[in-house]
A and B are shown apart, each in its own frame.
Chain A
Amino acid sequence: MEILSPAEWEVLGLSLRVALASVTLTLPVAVGVGWLLARCDFRGKLLVDGLCHLPLVLPPVVTGYLLLLAFGRRGWLGPVLESLGIRLAFDWKGAVLASAVVAFPLSLRAVRLAIEHVDPRLEGVARTLGAGAWRVFFTVTLPLAAPGLWVGALLAFARSLGEFGATITFVANISGQTRTIPAAIYTYLNQPAGEAAALRLVWISIGLSLAALVGSEWAARRSRNRQATP
């Protein structure tokens, strides 16, 4: 007996692709903005901080609608994307963007905290030893902040796996393109005979989340051990 039907395998595969792509998109931005908020002081810092946390506070459907306003065909960035030949609506790339946006505040917090915990004096020493600012960032700051980055990646991955409201508003629920696990569960639940399939997907969700949790914890512990103080 098959564990999953072909349709369910497709849903699982799409969800993983979207979640991994979302983490790849979110994490570097979280690192950049996290460094800025952790190390720099500037006018409007509080405003930037607040804006970054908007996706956490807004209902996902509102976030999805704002994405439509910003990245849709007639949106603010619509013409730019059109000229680059990028279509986000009704496309898995749009699902990635929606997931990345809602996951961003979570990974930002984890990353920022990790960078703040890196002793700035270590960065100072590195500069006196001849390393320029970028070198210091990549050879000192980032390695020492690594445990926090793993946490940020896990949070982004988990949030992306579960992302539904913004996605469905921005890119619809198109099988093969944007029907991720939560969308598929929603679809099955809406069909009178769909509970069994929905339940299977729920178990898969739980399994994926646990695997991600364990994996990230292991990775974080490894990088923490490299810096263990006796």
Chain B
Amino acid sequence: MTIQVVAFALILFAIYWLGRNIVANLEDLGKDFDFGFLTSRAGYDINQRLIEYSNESTHGRAALVGILNTLLVAVLGCALATVLGVIAGVLRLSRNWIVARLMTVYVEGFRNIPLLLWIILIFAVMTEATPRPADFRGDEPAASMIVGDSIAVTNRGIYIPNVLFTRSLGGNEVLPAADGGAAAVSPAASSLDWLLFIAVVVAGFFGARAIGRWATATQEATGIRPPGTFWMRVAVIILPAAIVLVALGATLDLPHLRGFNFTGGIHLRNSLIALWLALSLYTGAFIAEIVRAGILSVSNGQTEAAFALGMRPNWTMNLVILPQAMRVIIPPLISHYLNLTKNSSLAIAVGYMDVRSTLGGITINQTGRELEGMLLLGLFYLVTSLIISGVMNMYNNSVKLKER
């Protein structure tokens, strides 16, 4: 009890001391504590944005653009890291000696060298070892586009085809035709179209799951699985999505040279690619170890028992090993997703405009509001990680062994 009181008094005193210092320092500098700067004009440009933004927008909007960029690279990174990690983790357990060794080299190499070095190295390779857009010009160009003239790898980034809609829901710009004839309708990329497409695909997945449940129920009732279930499930996902694409008049917009640069398509900047690749390769090495540990944690007796029951190897994997391994794999996996999200703040090394560069960088420099800016930045990361760890705890509670 005495210790508690002493500790409480010490903490109160520390808070009081810090607060008094902050007030005194702010007064000395002639600053106040005010978040009003968020609604004032930002006045700087952001080269990569997922939502409308110009230098006339507010600092708050700039922060939002940064947050979306952080989330973008985090989501892309988590997806690729999971794929790489699972492949490397499974292959590292392979009985094939050379494959297992190669994966060990990958895992140890990425785990023991700082992420920052990888980011800068990949960025340097992408900017210095790739051809300039001008090299694609001329009759005998020094460089050429790959995959049927649809992807251009240049030192300014990678240009990939984009999908545009000629009958967009968001309305198309009508270009007046040059010869005074019928006006041409230019294809447009509208987020509304993509939302519809994604909604249809998600609905398709739910439909496929419903068919799967129905087939299982029929099988359990009658002993016979309805034929063609697999193709029905595939069709439920693909057909409606294809219909939506056709109905919206989807067309491919290929990148092409105009002047000294490529236009059209989607421009993936080097900063995004370097950050994405480095984060995924680095986190993938950690995920590989988690997957390996997870699979090793399921005792061999489980496999043998499943075989003794007459299960085929892939059933054994799906119904016996994986559900048990998942319990071990998921919690550290999510904590690595969290690490990846926090590590995306290394974007500063390559000039990717994430939330730290907008809100925690240029905004702070322009407005001189370090205290407020850093506080908001910290809060954003804190809230993100608390949400993710909350989800993780819910999942942990739902899968943990029910001991009686």
**A and B, one complex?**
no
List the interface of chain B (C-beta within 8 A of A): none
